[in-house]
Structure 1
């Protein structure tokens, strides 16, 4: 039926919207680093996101079993640690490079959970694109501490995908809002310890609220909707759009122009994303027929 064929494109659009919103929010978040540091910025982002989604979704309306609570807590704690580590990485290495390094997490999930040969074609295309985006010929070495923070964030991103899938049967607003509450328990204490009363400045609070909505509240809700409808390997490959979107937005917002090889890399990543979506669409009707 036409409706069943259209289903995979709905979560695909949700992932695209999530990635775009996240990159825009992160670009503006970096401007707060000189004021409250990476820790303070992360605390504002996660803390306000939790408050916004609690008010919007009112998760107390839905029952939550002890088992599901465990899923949500693991999902949220991983999200908080991932956010903090990534912002710490952004202090010393460029945004695009940090995204590329962090993306090794979902790529590992895609490789580990893949079951069809065609998935490896799209995975290989994504890997080629990411390798081309890395500034391997850069004269100055990347800060090793920043790289380690990005690699640790990659591990958390892989766990976030797996834990998010476990909680995928819950309503997206339910799991995301409660997950961000758990994440704030990790991130906010670090931010308060680092920035202190500077976090109470009205201008900083307003900026933090905007960053939270654009870079956390909107993307997290869209991602949970996508996780409920896409297999983890397809989701992992599709978010390969993030390095490409980050590069495009860096050019538009920050004046960072891409080289020809980077444009080619974007093409490889888009190919991987579109290909994985197309093959997932064909696979679902076949699975339904086998189940019947």
Structure 2
């Protein structure tokens, strides 16, 4: 197992686990869900461009070829749609419940990759089974009747996020994770206002009290995407998605501790199944490395 990829994926999961809590804080301050998505994505892209332009060693990652740019746009477009659906659904559901539903995406990633002709090792299938059983236990005891529209929106976001992971794996065959992060986030920032206008009708005004959580969400988005794409580059889409199940535990813990949400004992058992799925990564056999990007195309650092 490529431990650099494991650490990158876990870092991404821990960062993303706090995003729903920050979003709930922004909602409580009066921010509109689509405005939250548009602002956090735009800020993340602007800061990332500034860092790449200023840092000499990262400036070389600005290079991209036309077909690669189209791939990054596809990754950013699917991610933008998924984000809009997720934060609209999160506005209607508790943070813990919304993220539990959203955590179906590792299974969807594995199914998409299998449909693409790639094999899934036996231990990976066991980890998928544990994650799926954990999810069923987590969803088995809603507190009251669930908001069906909220559930549908989050399920749609899970599907788009899974597609974005699969597309990123393909794009990463031929470019560094740093390049994909920059251009995918830029495309996401460009598509998010359009998707928000179509699906959410975002309001332009954002209360001052919501700016702090939104700024924190922008930092989380920027760092987590970089970690996730590095994980996909080294581990592949399925393994990275299974590792990022850990983010649900971060979300649930924070939702219980900070927002006062509660889970039943059976839901906590489901969370343990998900932890077991993540911990089994240590038993995975090393995977075949992905084709490396052609380094001569990468300009040297200044």
1:162 Cα offset (Å): 0.8
Contact 2:100–2:135 at 8 Å: present in 1 too?
A: yes
**Residue-by-residue CA offset, 1:44-95 (whole Å, 9 max, x unaligned):** 1111111111111237743211111111000011111111110000111122
2:203 maps to 1:195: yes
Question: What is the alpha-carbon distance in structure 2 between the residues aligned to residue 203 and residue 140 of structure 1?
Answer: 31
Q: Determine helix, strand or coil for the equivalent of 1:283.
A: coil
Q: Which of 5, 13, 17 pairs up with 2:7?
A: 13
Number of aligned positions between the proteins: 274
Residue 214 of structure 2 is aligned with which of 208, 215, 219? 208
Query: Where does structure 1 differ by over 6 angstroms across 4 or more consecutive aligned residues?
Result: none
- Tell me which protein shows more helix as a share of its residues: 1
Q: Which residue of 1 aligns with 2:27?
A: 33
Q: How does 1:116-131 map to 2 (within 5 A)?
A: 116-131=121-136
CA contact (8 A) 2:2 2:286 kept: no
CA displacement 1:224-267 (0-9 Å, x = unmatched): 11111012221222122222221112223223344332332222
Higher mean C-alpha deviation, range 144-153 or range 102-111: 102-111
Q: Specify which of 36, 40, 47 is matched with residue 42 of structure 2.
A: 47
Which whole-Å CA distance do the structure 2 matches of 1:256 and 1:204 have between them? 21
User: Is structure 2 residue 146 aligned with structure 1 residue 142?
Assistant: yes
| 2:277 maps to 1:272 | yes
Structure 1 stretches of 5 or more lacking a match?
Answer: 1-6
Matched residues in 1 for 2:143 and 2:31: separation? 31
1:182 to 173, 187, 194: 187
Give the superposed CA RMSD: 2.3
**Relative to structure 2, which stretch is displaced further, 183-192 or 155-164?**
183-192
Q: Deviations over 1:161-191 (max 9, x none)?
A: 1111122242222211211111112223537
Distance 1:64 1:99, change over 3 A: same
Contact 2:245 2:278 in 1 (8 A): yes
Mapped to 1, the partners of 2:141 and 2:230 lie a distance apart of 39
Contact 2:92 2:147 (8 Å CA) reproduced: yes
Moved more, 102-111 or 219-228: 102-111
1:160 equivalent to 2:174? Answer no
2:258 to 239, 253, 275: 253
Residue number among 215, 239, 248 corresponding to 1:243 in the alignment: 248
How far the C-alpha of 1:11 sits from its partner, in A, is: 1.8
C-alpha distance in 1 between matches for 2:86 and 2:245: 17
Q: Is the 8 A contact 2:17 2:249 kept in 1?
A: no
Unaligned ranges ≥5, structure 2:
290-302
Q: Give the distance between the partners of 1:202 and 1:144, measured in 2 at CA.
A: 32
